[in-house]
Structure 1
Amino acid sequence: MANSDTRAEMTYRTLGRTGERVSAIGLGGWHLGLPQVDEKLALRLVRTAIDRGINFMDNCWDYNEGLSELRMGKALQEGYRHKVFLMTKIDGRSKKEAARQLEHSLERLQTDCIDLVQHHEILRFEDPDRIFREGGAQEALLEAKQAGKLRYIGFTGHKDPRIHLAMLELARERGFTFDAVQLPLNLMDAHFRSFAKLVVPELVKDGIGVLAMKTLANGAILRSKTVTPIECLHYALNLPTSVVITGVDRMDILDQAFEAVRTFKPFTDEQLQALLAKTRTAALRGEFEPFKTSSIYDGTATNPQWLGEEPEELQAQMQA
């Protein structure tokens, strides 16, 4: 666990080496644009979360065709923007496409500067190369940071921990250290292609903020009938996470997140092993982590145009 303190209903931790104090629970942005969530409810969820102490806001350029960012941007007006640490993600792999998407996010979120922007869906072993090559997306984010449009840079992915390690390795080769990394951390992951075992120690070693996602795997883990939502959230809070991002589409789900924080106490090794034993058999084939074993969560697989030009196309443009 990151260095933490508790005030009122929320615990706060340090985001890696940035020194930023962030809520142990973060509000996931994807759910804000779902069909069952109208704009009135979305604004109420965001503002209630902030009023009760959640200050980490998650979002993405591609969530619900921009609707999630639009709603969060509206919710953060009337004095709420300065109360939060705002994060979003972009899919572009080329400098041109990444810059275009970032401008869209800034406009939708109604802000001049986003606290953390992350390269999204690092799912393929070629993604790091495309991002860090000449004319790649990293150039766009570095220039945007220099221009004051963003403060910190990270990346996300949910497919395979070895791809995360490849991204970290290439960044080191280029002399760059990410500020945060978002990854699936849940009670099934502990047993199957484990990000917790392979990636988290590397992040801690380099002082990179650990952002947990898919803690309930969008409900898939609960369908295994092995553990409760609170146990899932407690497991992620027990890891050296800065923030555990959870999707919220109802007020009672928001209450559940605060209840998880209120009741959390660091596990003893005996408690941890007992909890992991509940999911060991169910986890072995990845059945309840479909984002690792299928492409149904891979937005950029079904929308390759989001990635922008392939390196060969970029090279041809430069030579023209």
Structure 2
Amino acid sequence: MQYRLVPKNGDTLSALGFGAMRLPSKRMGIDEERATQQIRSAIDSGVNYIDTAVPYHSGESERFLGRALKDGYREKVKLATKLPPWGVKTREDMDRILDIQLKKLQTDHIDYYLLHSLDANHWKKMHGLGVLEFLDAAKASGKIINAGFSFHGDRKTFKEIIDAYDWIFCQIQYNFLDEMNQAGTEGLQYAASKNIAVMVMEPLRGGMLAGKLPKDVEEIYDRAKTKRSAAEWALRWVWNHPEVTVVLSGMNDEKHIAENIKACETALPGSMSTGELATVKAVAAVYNRLIKVGCTGCAYCMPCPFGVNIPQNFFIYNSYHMGGSRLFTRGMYGISLMGAMGTKADASLCQNCGKCAKACPQKIAIPEELRKVRGTLGGLRTKLMIPLVKMIFSAEIKE
């Protein structure tokens, strides 16, 4: 296993982390026997960073990990979970939720604790409620060891958050299609320049970069001198960046877990050749041709006076048309309709004022494109998901 250093605390973490968001399922729940075997086998192979959060598997992921990490496995890993902004209304809620998480996870401390899914709105809310003071108190009590945050906003907000506190780490979405989206390469390098460890989520773009591939992408990989699976190409591209500390993979298949562990052993920073990087660049160009809206996520169009998260709309809309699971992408839109990722990504809120289009550096006809988003993702199938989304994200967080 390859390990990378956390600059501020000296921890050596496996460059491959186990994400507990997409565990194997059985009868609408977690297949506990199989998932436990997978996690323990990965730990035995050197994986020492496990990531979860309150809403994963409808609230059961943390409780499952509390059981799966028994028999000495808890002591072998650094455990990460997250404080959900949508569940916080008061400063006291932060302490209450953390205590519930500790009980579910059957541990007396969280090694790596994140503020979940920050963007400008969530950051403003949590900062105003005293979340930085909460983190200081939780660290002083020993309930959390290292403080960080996960991010789904614009680069300006990302830098603002980075500069606001002595973070040990952060977590960003990053892959060869998201160099300019959300925190992007600029954010990755900015965090690293502050000696902040960077954990990467969605290296495969929700499975898009490893599932059913466009024909042109398959042909590019087939022509490459080095033969790899699409997943390995995408993971190696992320690991190639020296600023990356851990790459999280939502693994749920024994074969894929073994492949990822094997690839991680040799996917050192700067190890990809010029030809290999050219292959990935050519693949990215194919995907980019499939993009419906040329939005870079710069957020110059924000804030929308009517509450539309414009970049998030276009990110989900583009993902829907670029391959992978359309059900998963529709689910992302349903989650965003609830505001669980900050400002609501509800295209139907657009009032065609045109303010956003005037501010857009890419000269996108934003109101017109939002109508297309609404037509594609705002239908009955998405609405049918809302009750489940409400249950997961709106209910009080209880033991």
Q: TM-score with structure 2 length normalisation?
A: 0.67
CA contact (8 A) 2:116 2:150 kept: yes
Matches within 5 A, 1:63-212: 63-92=56-85, 93=88, 94-123=90-119, 125-133=120-128, 135-169=129-163, 171=164, 176-190=165-179, 192-193=180-181, 195-212=183-200
Q: Secondary structure at the match of 1:115?
A: strand
Following superposition, the deviation at residue 112 of structure 1 comes to 0.2
Greater alpha carbon shift after TM alignment, 135-144 vs 112-121: 135-144
CA contact (8 A) 2:153 2:183 kept: no
- In the alignment, what sits opposite 1:258? 261
Gaps of 5+ in 1: 1-9, 309-320
Deviation track 1:151-186 (CA, whole Å, cap 9, x = no partner) reads 0100002344343223224x1xxxx22111101111
Q: Secondary structure at the match of 2:70?
A: coil
CA contact (8 A) 1:213 1:246 kept: yes
Following superposition, the deviation at residue 297 of structure 1 comes to 5.2
Following superposition, the deviation at residue 33 of structure 1 comes to 6.9
Q: Secondary structure at the match of 1:117?
A: strand
- In the alignment, what sits opposite 1:288? 319
Q: Secondary structure at the match of 1:267?
A: coil
- In the alignment, what sits opposite 2:281? 276
Greater alpha carbon shift after TM alignment, 218-227 vs 15-24: 218-227
Following superposition, the deviation at residue 128 of structure 1 comes to 1.8
Q: 2:22 aligns with which of 31, 46, 52?
A: 31
Following superposition, the deviation at residue 269 of structure 1 comes to 4.4
Bigger-Rg structure (1/2): 2
Q: Give the CA RMSD over aligned residues.
A: 2.6
CA distance in 1, matches of 2:255, 2:335: 25
Deviation track 1:198-242 (CA, whole Å, cap 9, x = no partner) reads 201111110000101100122122344336000011011111211
Deviation track 1:74-120 (CA, whole Å, cap 9, x = no partner) reads 11111111110111111135422222221111011100011010000
CA contact (8 A) 2:102 2:109 kept: yes
Q: Secondary structure at the match of 1:199?
A: helix
CA contact (8 A) 2:176 2:237 kept: yes
Structure of higher RCO (CA pairs closer than 8 Å, 6+ residues apart):
1
Q: Secondary structure at the match of 1:141?
A: helix
Q: 1:51 aligns with which of 27, 44, 49?
A: 44
Following superposition, the deviation at residue 262 of structure 1 comes to 3.3
Deviation track 1:242-269 (CA, whole Å, cap 9, x = no partner) reads 1000001121121121122134251234
Q: 1:245 aligns with which of 238, 243, 248?
A: 248
CA contact (8 A) 1:187 1:235 kept: yes
Gaps of 5+ in 2: 222-229, 294-314, 321-327, 342-388
**Alpha-carbon distance change, 33 to 110 in structure 1, aligned in 2, over 3 angstroms:** farther
CA contact (8 A) 2:24 2:34 kept: no
Q: State the aligned residue count.
A: 290
CA distance in 1, matches of 2:149, 2:46: 25
Following superposition, the deviation at residue 149 of structure 1 comes to 0.3
- In the alignment, what sits opposite 1:318? none
CA contact (8 A) 2:149 2:170 kept: yes
Matches within 5 A, 1:2-21: 10-21=1-12
Following superposition, the deviation at residue 273 of structure 1 comes to 3.6
- In the alignment, what sits opposite 1:215? 203
**Alpha-carbon distance change, 167 to 282 in structure 1, aligned in 2, over 3 angstroms:** same
The amino acid of 2:193's aligned partner reads: K
CA contact (8 A) 2:174 2:200 kept: yes
CA distance in 1, matches of 2:282, 2:395: 40
Q: Secondary structure at the match of 1:57?
A: strand
**Alpha-carbon distance change, 159 to 224 in structure 1, aligned in 2, over 3 angstroms:** farther
CA contact (8 A) 1:31 1:37 kept: no
Q: TM-score with structure 1 length normalisation?
A: 0.82
The amino acid of 1:131's aligned partner reads: M
**Alpha-carbon distance change, 91 to 49 in structure 1, aligned in 2, over 3 angstroms:** same
**Alpha-carbon distance change, 307 to 177 in structure 1, aligned in 2, over 3 angstroms:** farther
Following superposition, the deviation at residue 138 of structure 1 comes to 2.6
The amino acid of 1:295's aligned partner reads: Y
The amino acid of 1:182's aligned partner reads: Q
